[in-house]
């Protein structure tokens, strides 16, 4: 009798585990602007420690370029904003599981990602680069031979450094941008795979020692919603059009990027800006 109860209990636990796993694998239900307005807040996934994009101030406030974008979109919808700080690797899972409503999270617009999330039109331009010592000549991919290079695991710079570095280079992958930058600043690595805005952080940590060496890839960033969510995709695209036209995007660019707003492409190969 005891064995029967034990086996039944195990069967029930196994069944519960299967149900739980299935629910986790299911895509989150579509959310619309009307539903966001009804609940009274927009939950925005953002990078938590990657200035100037997203970071937490000493006062505990989420700030940065993407933070202002998220807050402005929430204002456009007439709701409060709630930020969820995310690491590089958990940005897409946080969205697809329904933990956040939208990503303004330094999301480079790449065809592989477009299979998992719906991109908006681009609102920011970036480039993936190698940062290295000023006193070392690094002008070609072959010049990375023998270097130890830090990258944020799973980020676009991880992909590009892995693709372009010769076999004798050592690539160290860290959990997030801050850790990969710190590895360079502390002398654990010779060079850093990052984007064009990393150098400001490196310069503050180790003044005068490093510079941008190689450019691997030009990128554009878009807001991300879940696949098939047409209404919120339309809303965010209309919002981006509006802030381009009324000068709000220029203000955010002037404050955080300190460069002119670029011309954005009307299309990118393998990426749709509109939900089907």
pLDDT tens per residue across span 191-211: 999 988 899 889 999 999 999
Integer Cα distance of 19 and 189 in angstroms = 45
**Residue 99's pLDDT band (cuts 50, 70, 90):** very high
> What value does the mean pLDDT take over residues 184-190?
97
Cβ-count burial of 56 within 10 angstroms (0-12 exposed, 13-18 middle, 19+ buried)? middle
Q: What is the 3-state secondary structure (H, E, C) of the chain?
A: CHHHHHHHHHHHHHHHHHHHHHHHHCCCCCCCHHHHHHHCEEEEEEECEECCCEEECCCCCEECHHHHHHHHHHHHHCCEEEEEEECHHHHHHHHHCCCCCEECCCCECCHHHHCCCEEEEEEEEEEEEEEEECCCCCCCHHHHCCCEEEEECCCHHHHHHHHHCCCCCEEEEECCHHHHHHHHHCCCCCEEEEECCHHHHHHHHCCCCEEEEEEEEEEEEEEEECCCCHHHHHHHHHHHHHHHHHCHHHHHHHHHHCCCCCCCCCCECCECCCCC
Q: What is the pLDDT of residue 19?
A: 35
Q: Percent of the chain, pLDDT > 90?
A: 79
Integer Cα distance of 202 and 209 in angstroms = 9
**C-alpha dihedral sign at 107, 113, 117, 121:** positive
Judge contact between 109 and 268, C-beta under 8 A.
yes
> What value does the mean pLDDT take over residues 108-135?
96
Digit-coded pLDDT (tens) for 231-264: 999 999 999 999 999 999 999 999 999 888 999 9
Integer Cα distance of 213 and 44 in angstroms = 34
Give the residue, 82 or 196, on which the prediction is more confident: 82
**Residue 48's pLDDT band (cuts 50, 70, 90):** confident
Digit-coded pLDDT (tens) for 152-172: 998 899 999 999 999 999 999
Q: What is the pLDDT of residue 30?
A: 59
How many residues comprise the chain? 276
Strand partners, 215: 129
* Average pLDDT of every residue of the chain: 89
């Amino acid at each position: 009798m005891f064995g029967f109860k034990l086996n039944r209990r195990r069967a029930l636990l196994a069944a519960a585990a299967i149900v739980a796993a299935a629910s986790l694998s299911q895509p989150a239900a579509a959310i619309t602007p009307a539903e966001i307005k009804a609940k009274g807040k927009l939950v925005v996934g953002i990078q938590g420690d990657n200035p100037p994009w997203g970071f937490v101030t000493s006062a505990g406030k989420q700030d940065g370029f993407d933070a202002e974008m998220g807050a402005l979109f929430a204002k456009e919808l007439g709701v409060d904003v709630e930020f969820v700080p995310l690491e590089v690797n958990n940005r897409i899972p946080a969205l697809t599981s329904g933990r956040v409503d939208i990503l303004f999270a330094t999301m480079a617009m790449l065809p592989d990602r477009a299979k998992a999330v719906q991109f908006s039109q681009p609102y920011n331009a970036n480039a993936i680069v190698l940062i290295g010592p000023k006193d070392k000549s690094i002008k070609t991919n072959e010049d990375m031979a023998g270097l130890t290079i830090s990258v944020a695991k799973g980020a676009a710079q991880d992909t590009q450094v892995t693709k372009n570095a010769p076999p004798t280079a050592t690539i160290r992958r860290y959990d997030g941008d801050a850790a990969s930058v710190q590895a360079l600043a502390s002398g654990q690595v010779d060079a850093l795979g990052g984007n064009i805005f990393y150098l400001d952080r490196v310069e503050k940590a180790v003044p005068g020692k490093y510079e941008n060496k190689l450019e691997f890839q030009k990128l554009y960033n878009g807001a991300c919603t879940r696949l098939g969510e047409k209404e919120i995709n339309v809303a965010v695209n209309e919002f981006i059009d509006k802030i381009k036209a009324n000068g709000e995007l220029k203000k955010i660019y002037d404050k955080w990027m300190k460069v002119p707003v670029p011309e954005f492409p009307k299309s990118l190969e393998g990426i749709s800006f509109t939900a089907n």
